[in-house]
Chain A
Amino acid sequence: MIHSLFLVNSSGDIFLEKHWKSVVSRSVCDYFFEAQERASEPENVPPVIPTPHHYLISVLRHSIYFVAVIQSEVPPLFVIEFLHRVVDTFQDYFGVCTEAAIKDNVVVVYELLEEMLDNGFPLATESNILKELIKPPTILRTVVNTITGSTNVGEQLPTGQLSVVPWRRTGVKYTNNEAYFDVVEEIDAIIDKSGSTITAEIQGVIDACVKLTGMPDLTLSFMNPRLLDDVSFHPCVRFKRWEAERILSFIPPDGNFRLLSYHVSSQNLHPLRSTSLVAIPVYVKHNITFREGSSQGRFELTLGPKQTMGKGVEAVLVSSQLPRGVLNTNLNPTQGTYTFDPVTKLLSWDVGKINPQKLPSLKGSMSLQAGASKPDENPTINIQFKIQQSALSGLKVNRLDMYGEKYKPFKGIKYMTKAGKFQVRT
């Protein structure tokens, strides 16, 4: 199981170590540093690194490498999932997961890590349970603790630990009972030069914020549940009920949690689904050319809305890694602002909202190194955007019912579409 954990910052310093079994010397990280040196970009460090006696499994988040050391055959996904859980927990506790935040709260961090693993076996990883065991630090609590000498470690066995609903504690009380659900869809797409779609798929999630008193039992039904045939559920969802009736039935955890995530792909052989191919909400017209022997290149880019179901496309941000040969650019945006970093060659254009009547465009010239041959590679254009009040796949919640409690909760649902990895090749 997981033997040790080292936290490494971007400059290659180990700033925290934790061992769950015998102590492993931090020199084991040298193998990691070697791999880090070889990698061209920080994110290119391979996640599994073998060393003569151990394996190092790492994730990179918030510019911190979380390097786990294992000694025997352990499923790597188990380790990676756990590491991500550690990061989520830190974020949950400290608001941000940065080196400074971790150092500021080093004792809490240590207590948390101790609570999350025992001898390398996961012990308590649910945020609800952890928070009962170890209270998150707040300025107020620290002050109070200092004055009263009380502690931020729970004295009682967390109620959820062994119940059939380990994700929920008992005795939850709210004056305002509310349950909000966000349906958020991210579209990943690759569009080729000519504007046709090579791949497009939707990664959707339903995130919930449930603050309900007692032990509410919720059911959530959809207008078009057939859309969801590739889903991953939070453990609270009753799978049998879903299989039989396509209804989500669950006792929710308290607070924020991800109820489910789903995946809709563009190519589906399902006969009933052939109509719901993934719609591409924006289009890009581009003309990026270099001529042999000329030290100038042309750059033209126009954006427009495509299938957006009448909703506006906003928060549009275009970025592109221009070829190394480009020295500088001289471009004019019809709206928004653009920047070009001559060192990293990163062009980014903050467009804002797309007005269908007056399409935003960015045109001008790029200056190249004099005498150099024209660049070999074609830049790829990355687009980010948001569309409020719409889920691209067409998923719609039908109703939410609550059983098991008497009061009437306040319910809300919100839809949003975002660009995930939305890439246009030129």
Chain B
Amino acid sequence: MEWANQLCETRQFGSKMTDSKYFTTTKKGEIFELKAELNSDKKEKKKEAVKKVIASMTVGKDVSALFPDVVNCMQTDNLELKKLVYLYLMNYAKSQPDMAIMAVNTFVKDCEDPNPLIRALAVRTMGCIRVDKITEYLCEPLRKCLKDEDPYVRKTAAVCVAKLHDINAQLVEDQGFLDTLKDLISDSNPMVVANAVAALSEIAESHPNSNLLDLNPQSINKLLTALNECTEWGQIFILDCLANYTPRDDRESQSICERVTPRLSHANSAVVLSAVKVLMKFMEMLPKDLDYYGTLLKKLAPPLVTLLSAEPELQYVALRNINLIVQKRPEILKHEMKVFFVKYNDPIYVKLEKLDIMIRLASQANIAQVLAELKEYATEVDVDFVRKAVRAIGRCAIKVEQSAERCVSTLLDLIQTKVNYVVQEAIVVIKDIFRKYPNKYESVIATLCENLDSLDEPEARAAMIWIVGEYAERIDNADELLESFLEGFHDESTQVQLQLLTAIVKLFLKKPTETQELVQQVLSLATQDSDNPDLRDRGYIYWRLLSTDPVAAKEVVLAEKPLISEETDLIEPTLLEELICHIGTLASVYHKPPSAFVEGSRGVMHKRLPARTGSGEGTESPDVVNAAVGSAPEAAPSIIPSQGDLLGDLLNLDLAPSTNTVPPPTTSGMQMGGMDFLGGGLDSLLGGDIVGSPAMGAGFGVAPAVMPASLNAPVGGGLGDLFDLGGGVGMPMGAYIPPKTVWLPAMKAKGLEISGTFARRAGVIQMELVLTNKAMSVMTDFAIQFNRNSFGLAPAGPLQVLTPLGPNQTIEVSLPLSTVGPVMKMDPLNNLQVAVKNNIDVFYFSCQYPISMLFVEDGKMERQVFLATWKDIPNDNESQFQIKDCHLNSDAASNKLQGSNIFTIAKRTVEGQDMLYMSIKLSNGIWVLAELKVQAGNPNYTISLKCRAPEVSQCVFQCYEAVLKN
């Protein structure tokens, strides 16, 4: 607080009229003086003293010692003094909870004050005091204020519920405040409605599965009415809330859009962007041939352009969102290229974003203009920006084929400038152009080679080496060029070393006679003198390839490379769809799903664009289910949206009849960089025999047909753990995996102890084993076999214990299982007899697997089929079980079960009792249908299972129990 003291010094001579005089309290010893002033009889002196206290507080000075004295000033008629004391209370009550109790009486009294301003102020302040003891006293006044005759008090009280929920969620639920809050959505005053929506949204964020904002056409109508009359901030809350609604049909969608479009003309940019979000989402449901669809598209462009004339911070957020919008619907802004041209005094963060969007909008029609601009940018001062501009030229070449030639010549012009970083950047992008259009622009290689010496950045050097290696047969002195790099081999970065190694091997394969010496040199440099395992391994691989089978080496090293595509930088469509639903939020700024980074929201709902549906279709099928179970027809069934885990999303999205216009995911290695380093292990996790795997194949670059088990088994376990870890944060609804148990004690197996469990990960059944050597000698030569069993489980590959297992060593192995082995009914049904062999002996044990790992991912039955099947299965096959002590609500239960591939098909509520209808499909094609009854407040569930093979019911029930209780 150095400056504050200084300020005091200077201020003492200055004006005494300003608040800065209050800073004098920061001097030592003056706390006592203040104390005396606070207890003064003179009102004015008191007020001045409180002001001084507040002033100290604002600059972070600790004045908590004055708590009792300040609180004593609270009982006053002077509103300003009261407010000041309240300010103080909010700041310090937490540190002095016992003292804060002293204030309660005044609060309660103020909540009864005839002046609505004071009532509101009291309830508002009480909510800000984060002390448990105070919150208890808050309930009664809050309840009154929520029903106050004055809307100003009601709207303040609505926010107070959110505050209280933040402090003590249970209390809010117990006291029924949530229901009162829901009622406020129908309040006559738009400001109250807006605040109720805001409060509910905030509460819902920490309760992703609660049906707090239960939107239906009636409540939507109320919101739309309030939208026109409430404040700009209220409009943002309401629009964001509307965006969560899924209209029943295209007509409803259109009518909402029509009522939202006027918001595009609002002066507040946040209102505009929230409106854009609603429109972008609901548009998805409109038929494209509808006139209104075209009108709407046209209406979206001007407000987006206008956002770009606002302050730079607003521009930045707008640009990040526009980036998403142009990927989803490029037609909206295709004529607006010019507004993204960079002004030289734009802040750098705006410049870079504009550049990105320019490339996205680049097309044959405007490429000339774009290139001229980019060339201009390449002469600017800011190095980062210049680099990005040069890169952008390369991206244009790759995106717009017709322009490639022009881009290359522009790049050559830039290389001629000899500006070092421009040259290097240009060479990096020319490499990409070569890859996109092989054998087309090699004539420029000579020019590139001239600049060889000036390259000092690894990326540029690596690019140049790649070019030389790739076109070694056309460059006469390729060997000399590469040799020159070799001199300082150990000083190069890994990137360059790797590239150099590959390039020289390429050169050797192309001109074997004169380069033998060179290749030997590089191989020995890479394998013998380097500590880098990547480099060494690559060196060894080449060495072996070259020494054993040069033809194979040629096939491997000189293999045709996959073309790089223009869309490598596009956001993956699933993510894009989700982000479109989050326009205007932080997620849209970071282009990451909210689940990836928002703290405190346990399990964020994945939002999706609605599918374009014909009207009425969605409403009839639940009725069928209704009739099927013979219930009262007036109980409107609500269908649970699928809120599956990450994998579920990947699969669902592709299976859903979504009509998105984004091109299918590309098969580029670049985009999937993150996947690459997880390597084969991830493939094994995601591959397997899931239905819909073609979709995933497309998403993950190389189609992960079932990997040779030899490759994936050893990594599987470790990666599985990784995946699990992710499961804790990102996908809370993972499949249930029982804890590991000891299957084979060491005593029975000459020192080998085996424990394990079973898991189903991404459609692959895995037996996860932990082998421990408790003997004194080394164990080797492990193998595993299963006896015939009920579901034909068999190892899909050998047991991968590659290294000998030393004494006291433990190894974790994950063994993928198939269900195509020989079948024999076991007792119990899920019993599995296993034989494990090692160099010492063969050991036998048996274990039981949870049948849930046989539940396949496509076990979601069509509603009609469900209905028919349920009727079709004789009643004798129905068995009923009780699940005791389960404290989940029906939605949470349904979510949890879905993680284990138990799919909820319909939900219906009768007299406070939720009935969930679920389907399960076993790997051998057996269907199990279930009806789960959940009564609010009753921890005992009743479950009825129907199946054509009633033997499995017992096992299925066990799984329900295991999943729900874990």
Residue with the greatest number of chain B CB neighbours at <10 A, chosen from A39, A73, A155, A231: A73
Q: Is A103 an interface residue (CB 8 A)?
A: yes
> In the complex the two chains form, is A80's CB within 8 Å of B338's CB?
no
Could you tell me the distance between the alpha carbons of A240 and B54 in the complex, rounded to whole angstroms? 47
Could you tell me the distance between the alpha carbons of A109 and B84 in the complex, rounded to whole angstroms? 12
In the bound complex, residues from chain A placing their C-beta under 8 Å from that of B273 are: 75, 77
In the bound complex, residues from chain B placing their C-beta under 8 Å from that of A229 are: 302
Known interface pairs A73-B587, A77-B317; A153-B79 also in contact (CB < 8 Å): yes
Known interface pairs A48-B317, A119-B128; A199-B19 also in contact (CB < 8 Å): no
> In the complex the two chains form, is A233's CB within 8 Å of B341's CB?
no
> In the complex the two chains form, is A269's CB within 8 Å of B20's CB?
no
> In the complex the two chains form, is B344's CB within 8 Å of A72's CB?
no
- What mask results when residues 289 to 325 of chain B are scored 1 for a CB within 8 Å of chain A, else 0? 0000000000000110110010111101110000000
Known interface pairs A22-B130, A199-B338, A232-B306; A378-B316 also in contact (CB < 8 Å): no
Could you tell me the distance between the alpha carbons of A293 and B314 in the complex, rounded to whole angstroms? 45
**Pick the contact of A267 from B51, B267, B335 — CB < 8 Å?**
B335
Q: Is A407 an interface residue (CB 8 A)?
A: no
Could you tell me the distance between the alpha carbons of A74 and B18 in the complex, rounded to whole angstroms? 36
> In the complex the two chains form, is A106's CB within 8 Å of B19's CB?
yes
In the bound complex, residues from chain B placing their C-beta under 8 Å from that of A324 are: 381
Could you tell me the distance between the alpha carbons of A47 and B270 in the complex, rounded to whole angstroms? 15
In the bound complex, residues from chain A placing their C-beta under 8 Å from that of B376 are: 192, 425
Q: Is A235 an interface residue (CB 8 A)?
A: yes
> In the complex the two chains form, is B317's CB within 8 Å of A106's CB?
no
**Pick the contact of B349 from A44, A111, A139 — CB < 8 Å?**
A44
Q: Is B379 an interface residue (CB 8 A)?
A: yes
Q: Which residues in window 121-152 of A have CB below 8 A to B?
A: 121-122, 125-126, 139, 142-143, 146, 149, 151-152
> In the complex the two chains form, is B317's CB within 8 Å of A21's CB?
no
> In the complex the two chains form, is A239's CB within 8 Å of B265's CB?
yes
| B112 to A: closest C-beta gap in Å | 16
Q: Is A355 an interface residue (CB 8 A)?
A: no
Could you tell me the distance between the alpha carbons of A122 and B585 in the complex, rounded to whole angstroms? 17
**Pick the contact of B269 from A1, A77, A108 — CB < 8 Å?**
A77
Q: Is A316 an interface residue (CB 8 A)?
A: no
Known interface pairs A77-B273, A162-B191; A376-B60 also in contact (CB < 8 Å): no
Which secondary structure dominates where chain A touches chain B? mixed
Could you tell me the distance between the alpha carbons of A188 and B471 in the complex, rounded to whole angstroms? 48
- What mask results when residues 43 to 71 of chain A are scored 1 for a CB within 8 Å of chain B, else 0? 11011101001010111100000000001
Could you tell me the distance between the alpha carbons of A203 and B306 in the complex, rounded to whole angstroms? 9
Known interface pairs A47-B317, A114-B87; A77-B339 also in contact (CB < 8 Å): no
Could you tell me the distance between the alpha carbons of A199 and B369 in the complex, rounded to whole angstroms? 11
In the bound complex, residues from chain B placing their C-beta under 8 Å from that of A139 are: 17
- What mask results when residues 581 to 604 of chain B are scored 1 for a CB within 8 Å of chain A, else 0? 000111101100010011111000
- What mask results when residues 198 to 220 of chain A are scored 1 for a CB within 8 Å of chain B, else 0? 11010100000000000000000
In the bound complex, residues from chain A placing their C-beta under 8 Å from that of B312 are: 43, 47
> In the complex the two chains form, is A377's CB within 8 Å of B381's CB?
yes
> In the complex the two chains form, is B313's CB within 8 Å of A106's CB?
no
Tally of contacts, chain A with chain B, CB under 8 A: 263
Known interface pairs A15-B59, A73-B594; A44-B347 also in contact (CB < 8 Å): yes
In the bound complex, residues from chain A placing their C-beta under 8 Å from that of B317 are: 47-48, 76-77, 80
**Pick the contact of B83 from A41, A74, A111 — CB < 8 Å?**
A111
Q: Is B850 an interface residue (CB 8 A)?
A: no
> In the complex the two chains form, is B19's CB within 8 Å of A108's CB?
yes
Q: Is A353 an interface residue (CB 8 A)?
A: no
- What mask results when residues 324 to 342 of chain A are scored 1 for a CB within 8 Å of chain B, else 0? 1000000000000000000
> In the complex the two chains form, is A233's CB within 8 Å of B267's CB?
yes
> In the complex the two chains form, is B343's CB within 8 Å of A421's CB?
yes
| B337 to A: closest C-beta gap in Å | 9
Q: Is A396 an interface residue (CB 8 A)?
A: no
| Chain A residue at minimum C-beta to C-beta distance from B346 | A421
In the bound complex, residues from chain B placing their C-beta under 8 Å from that of A272 are: none
- Among the listed stretches B231-239, B571-579, B925-933, which one makes contact with chain A, having 4 or more residues with CB under 8 Å of it? B231-239
| B213 to A: closest C-beta gap in Å | 15
In the bound complex, residues from chain A placing their C-beta under 8 Å from that of B961 are: none
| Chain B residue at minimum C-beta to C-beta distance from A147 | B44
> In the complex the two chains form, is A157's CB within 8 Å of B117's CB?
yes
In the bound complex, residues from chain A placing their C-beta under 8 Å from that of B345 are: 382, 421, 423
- Among the listed stretches A258-266, A301-309, A363-371, A384-392, which one makes contact with chain B, having 4 or more residues with CB under 8 Å of it? A258-266
**Pick the contact of B265 from A151, A233, A269 — CB < 8 Å?**
A233
| B273 to A: closest C-beta gap in Å | 5
| A189 to B: closest C-beta gap in Å | 10
> In the complex the two chains form, is A76's CB within 8 Å of B589's CB?
yes
Q: Is A161 an interface residue (CB 8 A)?
A: yes
Q: Is B159 an interface residue (CB 8 A)?
A: yes
Q: Is B567 an interface residue (CB 8 A)?
A: no
In the bound complex, residues from chain A placing their C-beta under 8 Å from that of B232 are: 235
Could you tell me the distance between the alpha carbons of A108 and B84 in the complex, rounded to whole angstroms? 10
Q: Is A416 an interface residue (CB 8 A)?
A: no
| A50 to B: closest C-beta gap in Å | 7
> In the complex the two chains form, is A230's CB within 8 Å of B302's CB?
yes
Could you tell me the distance between the alpha carbons of A229 and B313 in the complex, rounded to whole angstroms? 25
Q: Which residues in window 200-242 of B have CB below 8 A to A?
A: 202, 205, 229, 231-233, 236, 240
In the bound complex, residues from chain A placing their C-beta under 8 Å from that of B716 are: none
- What mask results when residues 26 to 61 of chain B are scored 1 for a CB within 8 Å of chain A, else 0? 000000000000000001100100010011001110
Q: Is A401 an interface residue (CB 8 A)?
A: no
Q: Is A17 an interface residue (CB 8 A)?
A: yes
> In the complex the two chains form, is A239's CB within 8 Å of B58's CB?
no
| Chain A residue at minimum C-beta to C-beta distance from B236 | A78
> In the complex the two chains form, is A48's CB within 8 Å of B79's CB?
no
**Pick the contact of B54 from A107, A143, A151, A203 — CB < 8 Å?**
A107
In the bound complex, residues from chain B placing their C-beta under 8 Å from that of A203 are: 309
Q: Is B163 an interface residue (CB 8 A)?
A: yes
In the bound complex, residues from chain B placing their C-beta under 8 Å from that of A157 are: 115-117, 150, 152
Q: Is B195 an interface residue (CB 8 A)?
A: yes
Could you tell me the distance between the alpha carbons of A334 and B522 in the complex, rounded to whole angstroms? 68
| A321 to B: closest C-beta gap in Å | 8
In the bound complex, residues from chain A placing their C-beta under 8 Å from that of B43 are: 149
Q: Is A343 an interface residue (CB 8 A)?
A: no
Known interface pairs A43-B312, A151-B79, A155-B79; A48-B269 also in contact (CB < 8 Å): no
In the bound complex, residues from chain A placing their C-beta under 8 Å from that of B382 are: 40
Q: Is A414 an interface residue (CB 8 A)?
A: no
Q: Is B151 an interface residue (CB 8 A)?
A: yes
Q: Is A13 an interface residue (CB 8 A)?
A: yes
Q: Which residues in window 408-426 of A have CB below 8 A to B?
A: 421, 423, 425
Could you tell me the distance between the alpha carbons of A201 and B163 in the complex, rounded to whole angstroms? 46
> In the complex the two chains form, is A198's CB within 8 Å of B341's CB?
yes
> In the complex the two chains form, is B80's CB within 8 Å of A156's CB?
no
> In the complex the two chains form, is A72's CB within 8 Å of B115's CB?
no
Q: Is B565 an interface residue (CB 8 A)?
A: no
Q: Is B91 an interface residue (CB 8 A)?
A: yes
**Pick the contact of B266 from A75, A84, A104, A232 — CB < 8 Å?**
A232
Report which A residues bind B (CB closer than 8 A): 1, 13-23, 26, 39-41, 43-44, 46-48, 50, 53, 55, 57-60, 71-78, 80-82, 84, 103-111, 114, 118-119, 121-122, 125-126, 139, 142-143, 146, 149, 151-157, 161-162, 164, 166, 188, 190, 192, 198-199, 201, 203, 229-235, 239-240, 243, 258, 260-261, 263, 265-267, 269, 321, 324, 376-378, 380, 382, 421, 423, 425
The 10 closest A-B CB pairs, nearest first, are: A230-B302, A153-B80, A104-B18, A47-B313, A77-B270, A122-B233, A151-B80, A78-B270, A199-B338, A232-B267
| 22 pairs, CB–CB < 8 Å, chain A vs chain B | A17-B58, A18-B58, A21-B128, A23-B91, A40-B382, A47-B313, A73-B587, A75-B236, A75-B240, A76-B317, A76-B586, A104-B15, A111-B84, A156-B117, A157-B150, A162-B191, A166-B191, A190-B341, A230-B303, A231-B265, A239-B262, A266-B338
Given A23-B94, A109-B58, A149-B44, 11 more A-B residue pairs with CB atoms under 8 Å apart are: A22-B130, A48-B589, A74-B585, A75-B270, A81-B268, A111-B87, A126-B231, A153-B79, A232-B303, A239-B262, A376-B417
